[in-house]
Amino acid sequence: MIAAFEGWNDACQAASDTIRHLVARYDSKEIRHIRCDGYYDYQTTRPLVCHATGRRRIIWPQTTFYDLEIAPGQHVYAQIAPEPNYRWRDYCNESLRIADELDVTHVITLGSMFADCPHTRELPLDVEYNGDETGDPDQRYSGPVGIPTILDAIAHEEGFDTTSMWVSIPQYLGSDGCAQATMRLLNGLSHLLDMPLDLGDLPCKAEKWKAQATMLVRCNDDLATYVQHLEHEHDMNEKARQEASLGGPACEQLVKEAEAFLKGLE
């Protein structure tokens, strides 16, 4: 089951747009709902009014579950909702009861966040499996969290396999839609599901987004300098990761080559 929530966890609507894209591109049907009662502050997440067939209708915030056939005989479920305001543990438990009824064994939560990253490089995608906290403790996030993190944690406690997937979006570009980020999440899901997902017109939209961002940067010297700094930082971090992945012997060889170069300067 793939879950995304509108609101604080959904910069540029990239995570929720991933669910909407899947629903639009594949055979899908609504199969479950969680009613809004007790979970929402209507001054924060307001109901909507719409007019259809000549009648006025009030649309209340709610959670919708979809059955998606992404390949012949291969189905995934999707959950989409505004982030609840109240009773998160109850809400997550209700979501997981539905997941259990659907024989779900793996819960994937999606999120998007603004960060210091350049639009000229591949957008960072952070993936965590089963609450794994390996790696440098100094690099682990500490701070406020949203409903995807809580759902991921409770699902892991309840024995589900879990994957948390977050894409970073350049914070200097504002809050409009970001097809590049949605496509990054879809590519991450393709890898996780071990099958290509239909990107539709996202590559074209992503190129347009990138071109608009580049034009914005060209019109602002201070912003251009800032983006150059982010590019340099990104490239240095990427080089460090590549060198670390080479293993001990290769790193030792790099050190020897650097020492030889420095001696040649003496």
pLDDT digit string, tens, across residues 191-215: 999 999 999 999 999 999 999 999 9
How far apart CA 241 and CA 156 sit, in angstroms, is: 29
If you average pLDDT over residues 11-36, what whole number do you get?
95
Burial letters 53-77, b for 16+ CB under 10 A, else e: eeeeeeeebebebbbbebeeeeebb
If you average pLDDT over residues 82-99, what whole number do you get?
96
Look over the chain and give the mean of its residue pLDDT values, rounded to a whole number: 89
Please report, in angstroms and rounded to a whole number, the separation of the first and last CA atoms in the chain.
Answer: 61
Range 2-200 has CATH code 3.40.50.10900? yes
What confidence score (pLDDT) does residue 86 get?
95
What confidence score (pLDDT) does residue 141 get?
72
CA-to-CA separations, 56 to 35, 53, 83, 237, 253, in angstroms, rounded: 20, 8, 26, 55, 72
Rounded to two decimals, the pTM is 0.86
Q: 158: closest CA among 103, 93, 78?
A: 93
What confidence score (pLDDT) does residue 55 get?
87
Q: Which two tokens stand for residue 160?
A: 């589900």
What confidence score (pLDDT) does residue 200 get?
96
What confidence score (pLDDT) does residue 83 get?
96
What confidence score (pLDDT) does residue 262 get?
56
pLDDT grade for 250, boundaries at 50, 70 and 90:
low
For the chain, give every domain's residue range.
Answer: 2-200, 220-266
Tell whether the model's pLDDT for residue 188 goes beyond 90: yes
